[in-house]
Amino acid sequence: MTTPDLVSPAQADDLAPALGAGARRRHRFGRVLQDVVGGVIVLWGAATLTFLAVHLMPGNPAVAYAGGVGSHPSKALLAAVSKKYGLDHPVIVQYFIYLGNLLHGDLGYSASQQMPVASVIKLNVAPTAELTLGSLLLAWLLAVVWSLLTVRRGRIISSIGSGLEILTAAVPQYWLGIILLEVFAFHLGIFPATGGTGLVGLVLPSLTLAIPIAGFLGQVTREEFESALEQPYITSARARGMGDWGVRLRHALRHAVLPGVTLSGWALGSLISGAVIVESLFSRNGLGNVLLQGVTQQDMPLTIGVVLIVAVVYVVATIAVDILYQLVDPRLRSAGQ
């Protein structure tokens, strides 16, 4: 390998022990700080993008801010909106007014819901959080158990294992939801079709969201699992007298879940997308349902409000995942590269 001396791992190794615990902690803190600064920049970009969206869409921005053409805003309302968003000022001033409003937590007024956007979000955030986080956990559980059971278990079982993952990863949530509804709600009558309270009502929607994600995480985990099981450290462990389950659980698993962990932030975003579909399909309250109404009625303040909240969630999730990753992978806790 003609790696330049710069990235020589041998040198990096030699450096590592030299760093004391204090330096490591500082390094770790620096990393989180970097994440937070990056996150703020991303959110600023997201806010800018939504501002551009309102001003790039056809028609008068005042109408958009007032709730869209469909809501037939009155002259008085339009005037009030123009004043609030400073629409008679140059665009750059409007931009700062817009950012200022966001910073104060003022997301505008939703014409379709007849209340401030912030209140709409507050009312609907809990059920969606419940659904998406529950689904994420469920997806991980399914993916890990499935990999543990089927990776490298002879050709037939392994093929079934990976085949099912590919299949489930390709199944669209809307269709999967319909099938689950048909089978478990209408046919077998085990779970309620719509609404439902508590855990029972959460089962079908969570499964609908979790199964495709599990298929995706499963594919990534399987690939890593397979390559981990071929690594020399596995042979070493087996040569010490460790059994098959031992090397799977104690050695390979941790390596196998690492890339999946990085994808969890992405997965959460995908779950929120899915929530739009699932909440509509199962007639559940939540941000997804509200967002769909906003989009259908071209209620820009509501649409933008929800989209920005999702961006915040995404950014927070990414930072959380990065911290989690450092916990799972001790290599990053030490000096790191």
Partner 1 sequence: MTVVNAPSVDKQPGQARQRGRARRLTPGVVLAWLVIAFLAISVAFPGLLAHQGPLAVDPAHALQGPSLSHLFGTDQSGRDVFSRVVYGARESLPIGIAATAIGLAIAIILGFAAALGGRWADAVISRFLEVLFAFPSLLLGLLFVAMFGAGVGSLIIAVGIGSAPGYARMIRGQVIAVKHAPYVEAARILGHSRLRIMVGSIFPNAMRPLLVLGTLGIGQSIVWASALSFLGLGAAPPAPEWGAMLAAGRDFISSAWWLEFFPGAVIVATALAATALGRHLQRRMEGRLAS
Partner 2 sequence: MTATTHDSNLLTATDLRVSFGSGDAAREVVRGISFGVRPGECLAIVGQSGSGKSVTARTLLGLAGDGAQVSGGLNFDGQDLTSLRERQWRAIRGVRIGFILQDALVSLDSVRPVGREIAEPLRLHRYGPRSARWRRVIELLDQVGVPEPEMRARQLPGELSGGLRQRALIATAIALDPQLLIADEPTTALDVTIQAQILGLLAQSKQRGRALIVISHDLAVVARLADRVAVMRDGLIVEQGPTQDVLGRPQHAYTRALLDAIPSSHSRGTRLSPADAPALRVAPVRKATVQEAAAPAPLLTADGLVKRYKGPDGKVRTVVDDVSFQLGPGETLGVVGESGSGKTTTGRIVLAVTKPDRGEVRLHGRPWTGISEAQRRPRRRYIGVVYQDPLSSFDPRWTVQRILSDALPAEAGGAAARTARIRELLHQVGLGDDLLDRRPLLLSGGQRQRVAIARALAPEPEIIVCDEPVSALDVSIQAQVLDLFADLQDQLGLSYIFISHDLGVIHHMSDRVLVMTGGRIVEQGDAEQVFGNPQHPYTERLLAALPKVDALSPAGLAGRPHPTTPRREPALERSA
Q: Is 198 in the site for partner 2 (CB under 8 A)?
A: no
Place of tokens 């994808």: 263
DSSP, residue by residue, 221-286? HHHHHHHHHTSHHHHHHHHTT--HHHIIIIIIHHHHHHHHHHHHHHHHHHHHHHHHHHHHHTT--S
What distances in angstroms separate CA 59 from CA 62, 96, 293, 298, 307, one per listed residue? 9, 21, 20, 12, 21
Task: Name the residue nearer to partner 2 (CB basis): 9 or 198.
Answer: 9
Query: Which span (111-119, 145-153, 246-254, 300-308) binds partner 1, by CB under 8 A?
Result: 300-308
Query: Which span (4-12, 76-84, 184-192, 298-306) binds partner 2, by CB under 8 A?
Result: 4-12
Q: Which of residues 90-119 bind partner 1 (CB under 8 A)?
A: none
Q: Where does residue 264 fall: left (phi above 0), alpha (psi -120 to 50 degrees), or beta otherwise?
A: alpha
Beta bridge partners of 116: 109
Q: Which of residues 273-302 bind partner 2 (CB under 8 A)?
A: none
Using CA atoms, how far apart are residues 114 and 224, in angstroms rounded to an integer?
50
Q: Which of 80, 118, 125, 242 binds partner 2 (CB under 8 A)?
A: 242
Query: Which span (45-53, 88-96, 111-119, 243-251) binds partner 1, by CB under 8 A?
Result: 45-53
Task: Identify each DSSP E strand in the chain by its residue range.
Answer: 109-110, 115-116
Q: Answer with the entry of partner 1, partner 2, none that 259 interacts with (C-beta below 5 to 8 A by kind).
A: none
Q: Answer with the entry of partner 2, partner 1, none that 276 interacts with (C-beta below 5 to 8 A by kind).
A: partner 1
Residue 186 carries which DSSP code?
I
Q: Is 167 in the site for partner 1 (CB under 8 A)?
A: yes
CB atoms near residue 152 (< 10 Å): 17
Place of tokens 């800018």: 48
Nearest to 304 by CA among 135, 126, 130, 101: 101
Length of the chain: 337
* Residue 173 burial by Cβ neighbours in a 10 Å radius (0-12, 13-18, 19+): buried
Q: Is 129 in the site for partner 1 (CB under 8 A)?
A: no
Task: Name the residue nearer to partner 2 (CB basis): 204 or 256.
Answer: 256
Q: Answer with the entry of partner 1, partner 2, none that 251 interacts with (C-beta below 5 to 8 A by kind).
A: partner 2
- 3-state SS, 145-175, equals HHHHHHCCCHHHHHHHHHHHHHHHHHCCHHH
| Interface pattern 218-237 for partner 2 (x via CB under 8 A) | -------------xxx-xxx
| Interface pattern 46-65 for partner 1 (x via CB under 8 A) | x--xx--x--xxx-------
Q: Is 21 in the site for partner 2 (CB under 8 A)?
A: no
Query: Which span (9-17, 103-111, 172-180, 183-191) binds partner 2, by CB under 8 A?
Result: 9-17
Q: Answer with the entry of partner 1, partner 2, none that 123 interacts with (C-beta below 5 to 8 A by kind).
A: none
The alpha carbons of the chain give a radius of gyration, in whole angstroms, of: 25
Q: Which of 165, 251, 314, 322 binds partner 1 (CB under 8 A)?
A: 314
Q: Is 316 in the site for partner 1 (CB under 8 A)?
A: no
Beta bridge partners of 109: 116
What would the two tokens of residue 59 be?
């028609």
In single-letter form, the type of residue at position 77 comes to: L
Q: Please give the residue ranges that form the binding site for partner 2 (CB under 8 A).
A: 1-6, 8-17, 19, 23, 27, 152, 231-233, 235-243, 246, 251, 254-255, 329-331, 334-337
Q: Please give the residue ranges that form the binding site for partner 1 (CB under 8 A).
A: 1-3, 8-10, 38, 41-43, 45-46, 49-50, 53, 56-58, 166-167, 170-175, 178-179, 181-182, 186, 193, 266, 269-270, 272-274, 276-277, 280-281, 291-292, 294-296, 298-300, 303-304, 307, 310-311, 314-315
